[in-house]
Amino acid sequence: MMNNRQLADTFTLIANLCEIKGEVIYVILAYRKASESLMSLSREASEYWKEGKLREIPGVGKAIAEKIDELLSTGKLQFLENLKKEVPEELAAWLQVPGLGPKKIAAIWKALDITTLAELAAAAKNGQLRDLPGMGAKTETSILDGLASLARRSGRIPLGRAYPLAQEIIRVLKGVQGVTAAESAGSLRRMRSTVGDLDILVAAKDSRAAAVMEAFVNLKGVSRVLGRGETKASIEFTDGVRAQLWVHPPEKFGTALQYATGSKDHNVKLRQIALDKGLSLSEHALTKIKSKGETLCSTEEEVYKTLGLPWVPPELREDRGEVEAAKANKLPKLIQVKDIKSNLHMHSTFSDGALSILAMANAAIKRGLKTIVFTDHSVGLGVANGLSMERHKQQAAEIKKVQKQLGDKILILHGTEVEIKADGSLDYPDDFLASLDLVVASLHSSLRQPREKITGRLLKAVKNPHVDIIGHPTGREFPNREGADLDMEVILKTAAESGVAMEINAHPSRLDLDDPFARRARELGVLISINTDAHSEGDLDLLHYGVAIGRRAWLEPKDVVNTWTQKKLLEWLKKRG
């Protein structure tokens, strides 16, 4: 039976093919919203289906519910099969090419009768596109640049895809009798934005290793077993993700976990410290070089303590000064999810959100938030049902009504996510922006502009005194869209001067700013805001991804505006005007 990802991918494919076909935007948005809702569910859609409650899934109306029913019943969808006869399925991959939109895709396909990326590249190289209506030599160059960008992308797995899968694997393995610990390792444990294969370590006595292996190779969704030994196994899931498992004795789990977490450069530094102390550090133990006596470590804390260091959080282990900071006892007191008091970037049904003001506010209260800001899209982003200034008045009235209903359970502010247009101007006039509680300014379109132009475009927003936060600054989306080519050093220095905050967007499709830029922002004294960009209740639970990026950037609570009290937040906003 199809899982949520497979269902979501099906509706994304339908949306993509409909977009190339030229279907009306509302139809396309309906399929995309269904896909997003399916991916944000906390349980499988098949469970809703069995209970006859598909319509309770946000974004799923009668027509979508019927399609889900057909997919879960038969594994196929006749509507999609018919659509593929009209628009070749291969064309959906063209939408991944930066700068190539659905209209150009349709025009090229119909004119040249080509469907693969290889044929597109050949046509561009051979000058076959420049004479097509609305195109030219610049179009060919742009497409070739986009194809080159696509080719540069690695096969790494986005964190938002790898993390939940690893957590499910760990949950299953912890249920095996005799397992005393199970953890992810490698770049996933360090919470990098993208990861390679999933590395899982388990602590169990040798007598239980076979049972752990059996549970691992029989995990739901495994398509093939790549290798299996007494204490190590490797598998591949149906979507191509690979996972590896190592089973270690509990008394050696600490050194094994430290070694497997990495990074390589961090471990090199630790091995040198060990050598300076007359020790050899391996995944098995700390061994005295002269006497060969071993120190076994069941926890990582014991490993670092034996080396004379405080435990270093995994997110910092990139050899970016964390070992030196540990030696000097100057490791940062990293931000945690529990430190976050506010969500300053979220959406409702007034634009492209799944829930009403009241429903989203109640969802935020459930999660312990003290302040939220509704920043629905501005009018220029028509694809997201952006608000006119008149509709903003209606939203303000609704927020006032809900605030009265909820009292002091939560503070609800009225803002906007205003579009930074191609020329750098904003979607609303300054006097209107000044009337709002908070303004997030974001790039969503024309992301392939030359570096100088798009940097200048963003700088206009950074310098605007009515803009409080720059949302997902580079505009990137995993796995298919690179961020804009920005001069981030100039932008961050200007942000430090203007006092605007830069966002770490916690949604795993963005994670933008990435940690190197967020750390540089901290060094320059730029305020950081970590927000979920929530479009549904489930999105509020994505906060930990943004916090993880903040931790990788060495952020402490004081660096992040979302940790402030209501009083301090309101004073900051008032000062910004």
pLDDT band at 542 (very low <50, low <70, confident <90, very high): very high
Q: Collapsing DSSP states into helix, strand and coil, what is residue 487?
A: coil
Q: What is the mean pLDDT of residues 87-113?
A: 91
Is residue 388 predicted with pLDDT exceeding 70?
Answer: yes
Please say whether the beta carbons of 67 and 58 come within 8 A.
no
Share of the chain above pLDDT 70, in %: 99
User: In the predicted model, what is the mean pLDDT of the chain?
Assistant: 93
More confident residue, 447 or 258: 258
Please say whether the beta carbons of 509 and 12 come within 8 A.
no
Numbered ranges of CATH 3.20.20.140 in the chain: 337-576
Is residue 114 predicted with pLDDT exceeding 60?
Answer: yes
Q: Of 14-28, 192-206, 276-290, 379-393, where does mean pLDDT reach its minimum?
A: 379-393
More confident residue, 446 or 153: 446
Pick left, alpha or beta for residue 75 (phi over 0 → left; psi -120 to 50 → alpha; otherwise beta).
left
pLDDT of 153 reads 57
Is residue 383 predicted with pLDDT exceeding 80?
Answer: no
Q: Of 65-74, 132-141, 158-167, 247-256, where does mean pLDDT reach its minimum?
A: 132-141
Q: Residues 6 or more apart from 561 whose CB is under 8 A from it?
A: 342, 344, 501, 527, 528, 529, 569, 572
Is residue 152 predicted with pLDDT exceeding 70?
Answer: no
Numbered ranges of CATH 3.30.210.10 in the chain: 254-327
Q: Which CATH class is domain 254-327?
A: alpha beta
CA atoms within 13 A on the CB side of 138: 6
| Beta bridge partner(s), residue 227 | 234
Instruction: Using CB atoms within 10 Å of the CB of residue 291, give its burial: 0 to 12 exposed, 13 to 18 middle, 19+ buried.
Output: exposed
Q: What is the mean pLDDT of residues 535-547?
A: 97
Q: Collapsing DSSP states into helix, strand and coil, what is residue 419?
A: strand
Please say whether the beta carbons of 303 and 257 come within 8 A.
no
Q: Of 50-54, 165-169, 291-295, 332-336, where does mean pLDDT reach its minimum?
A: 291-295
Cα distance between the two ends of the chain = 54
In tens, the pLDDT along 245-290 reads 999 999 999 999 999 999 999 999 999 999 999 999 999 999 998 8
Q: What number of residues does the chain have? A: 577
For residue 525, give the DSSP letter: T
Instruction: Look up the CATH architecture of domain 337-576.
Output: Alpha-Beta Barrel (3.20)
pLDDT of 4 reads 82
Task: State pTM to two decimals.
Answer: 0.78
pLDDT of 521 reads 96
pLDDT of 502 reads 98
CA–CA separation, 473 and 493 (whole Å): 14
Is residue 499 predicted with pLDDT exceeding 60?
Answer: yes
Is residue 154 predicted with pLDDT exceeding 80?
Answer: no
One-letter amino acid of 349:
T
Please name the residue ranges forming H helices in 203-295: 209-217, 253-261, 264-276
Q: Which CATH class is domain 4-152?
A: mainly alpha
pLDDT of 100 reads 86
One-letter amino acid of 573:
L
pLDDT of 42 reads 59
Q: Of 270-274, 291-295, 499-503, 560-564, where does mean pLDDT reach its minimum?
A: 291-295
More confident residue, 44 or 425: 425
Share of the chain above pLDDT 90, in %: 80
Numbered ranges of CATH 3.30.460.10 in the chain: 157-248
Numbered ranges of CATH 1.10.150.110 in the chain: 4-152
**Which CATH entry fits the domain spanning 157-248: 3.90.1150.10, 3.30.70.100, 3.30.460.10, 2.60.120.280?**
3.30.460.10
Where are the extended beta strands (E) located within 360-500?
371-374, 411-419, 438-442, 469-471
Please say whether the beta carbons of 347 and 353 come within 8 A.
yes
